[in-house]
Structure 1
């Protein structure tokens, strides 16, 4: 086989050589979702992303040694912390043993999931007085809708900590009430309104599509499905900060900062852009086919932890079809889904479906990130509460690979 013109794409023989495996094993890796392939120079050949192959080869080399296993674990590898909060299974995440998909289908709200994840038992932290209006020093920023939602929120949360007299109170009931207030404040900041006692899904839906009950239900379900996802990047960042004994506002700030990266929360914006670009092309199926042939990524599709498809995305898609199945924009989404399945075999993930909610309803793509951030705060706070209850500091060691002393 001739070498593909794109140096980022390699033929099967090179992929096998890098991994030290047979072609049959290579195809098994593809079928399990550990690698992706694209059409090669001739119809019967396939090519592979060099970066994906090298990353898998690095994991294989890591072996089972303690030091190497620890290094591997920092990229979707071995567990690095014990938690009782959530479990990832092929049929989706489970929140303290309860299926997130089932919770979304049966009408649970984000507040219901918060009470579950925070182990509130008989306490209802949301029954406390609703958050007060923004203090003067915060109001100018909090209500400035000209600022990007995430940046506005990250600017205000540390200032709100100055107003919280019990931010370092270690009593569990007090900490849950602070967490409940933060959940409401965060949602209000993300849409640039005053905080109140409305359920988070209603606050978001009323800000974007007031009076649309079907849309509000769709947002409710999406929030429940995004509330936590085990030890993801932003949850780990929040948990590390919580281990220092910092107040909950600081842990939320850490989670928001991690979420802002293009490889985490920013994936929703790229998924929304894919839908817009496919529409602008005038031929979505051909657009997806050409993009895949070039070796370009398809944001909003595929998930390393769900090789057979992200059940969270599947559930949102089901509800989106029921609500908007005959609308032209939904038909465009279906065309993109069908073309992607045909050419890449990839399934949509939750990032892609959050973007699809916004696209179908004519909303800006940034609203997808707002839904993600409003929901995921629930999990960050659960991890912070769990970590601080343990009372231990998260302080991993590094394996030095630089220049040796004296050389």
Structure 2
């Protein structure tokens, strides 16, 4: 671990020395999104986050050996397992070969994407599962509006497994029907209402802005774009649990637990807070420039897997502009976007745009995470179904780097 602060800034010469590269190569790393830079104290000079540079240097030192390569792959490095579910490309994530952006633009619902990701073909698991009222033992929890959405859902999902007689049934049709029921239950828990047969995007939109069809369309699109994203942290956690043979409720619980961290699903709340802080400053452009100058991050911007801009965020932004065009809050969002691009070259990611949706529509920032968690459960279940069809256990090995065992007294 570095002894330096995560926000310590260093010069270009220092960065080049740490990496053992030329200035030209350093600039190439920045242009490819492998490093970020900020304006330096002198005109046209740039400074760099020491922590970022040291992480990149560590990756370079790791080399190409099998053991070291495997260790590095756990941080957005080399692929660690095969999947047929989704593919990340610069223009969009692809769900079983179909563009998520194109699906959102064509009017697909989250249920449509679930049927695709779960390979349902002619079997519609949503038609086969009639939503039921909450069991008496969890109704008070499920409908308690004072509980935070994710915590309320995490408390109820394991209890719902007790009501599911076929939770360990291996028949694929039954497992898809359990998944469909879970998708509806999860959405209802996240907004604190009873599950029903409405499309999931309508259930959310009606809970927050009843009768607003334009807003409902925006929610629909956001859910489709967030349904899966390959081996993100929560999908991998769900997949590991699924590999043990655990029921689908357990895999969903694992996904929710991983999503709750500030470096995953919690990023939406920080992006929403950035917009509120920019508004409170009274000068959003200057506020963003000052944050960047002193080395603070800009939550809701940049994505390591999309160095040229997150296409999911771009699509939500396009629809948000269409629906809220010249509103005062949308103008502030535009000011923050413009200032961020000017000082850093960064574009909004999907976390940032979910936060922007809540900001523009004057909704609590927690609703951004609700949209994310509602959608992403679709992918968790797809990964669980795929992993359990493989029938293998995910059990990587660790490379021990601690103190060596002491030899017994008198040993040679």
2:162 paired residue number: 162
Deviation at 1:44, TM superposition (A): 1.9
Deviation at 1:6, TM superposition (A): 9.7
* Contact kept? 2:129, 2:177, Cα under 8 Å: no
2:353 paired residue number: 353
- Unaligned ranges ≥5, structure 2: 408-412
**CA distance in structure 2 between the aligned counterparts of 1:124 and 1:57, rounded to whole angstroms:** 50
2:338 paired residue number: 338
1:254 paired residue number: 254
- Unaligned ranges ≥5, structure 1: none
Deviation at 1:156, TM superposition (A): 0.1
Map 1:6-405; keep pairs closer than 5 Å: 8-405=8-405
* Contact kept? 2:6, 2:49, Cα under 8 Å: no
**CA distance in structure 2 between the aligned counterparts of 1:288 and 1:9, rounded to whole angstroms:** 17
Deviation at 1:402, TM superposition (A): 0.5
Deviation at 1:79, TM superposition (A): 0.2
**CA distance in structure 1 between the aligned counterparts of 2:264 and 2:120, rounded to whole angstroms:** 29
Alignment length (residue pairs): 403
**CA distance in structure 1 between the aligned counterparts of 2:7 and 2:97, rounded to whole angstroms:** 45
Q: Give CA-to-partner distance per residue, 1:261-306, whole Å, 9 cap, x none.
A: 0000000000000000000000000000000000000000000000
Please tell me the root mean square deviation across aligned C-alpha atoms, in Å: 1.0
**CA distance in structure 1 between the aligned counterparts of 2:130 and 2:357, rounded to whole angstroms:** 29
Other structure's SS at 1:292 match? helix
* Contact kept? 2:6, 2:50, Cα under 8 Å: no
**CA distance in structure 2 between the aligned counterparts of 1:181 and 1:129, rounded to whole angstroms:** 6
Runs of 4+ in 1 over 4 A off after TM superposition: none
The 1:219/1:6 distance shift into structure 2, 3 A limit, reads closer
2:410 paired residue number: none
**CA distance in structure 2 between the aligned counterparts of 1:342 and 1:7, rounded to whole angstroms:** 21
Other structure's SS at 1:126 match? coil
Deviation at 1:113, TM superposition (A): 0.2
Query: What's the TM-score once normalised by structure 2's chain length?
Result: 0.97
Query: What's the TM-score once normalised by structure 1's chain length?
Result: 0.98
Q: Give CA-to-partner distance per residue, 1:153-186, whole Å, 9 cap, x none.
A: 0000000000000000000000000000000000
**CA distance in structure 2 between the aligned counterparts of 1:399 and 1:262, rounded to whole angstroms:** 27
Q: Give CA-to-partner distance per residue, 1:119-158, whole Å, 9 cap, x none.
A: 0011000001322100011101000010000000000000
**CA distance in structure 2 between the aligned counterparts of 1:275 and 1:375, rounded to whole angstroms:** 23
* Contact kept? 2:267, 2:351, Cα under 8 Å: yes
Other structure's SS at 2:126 match? helix
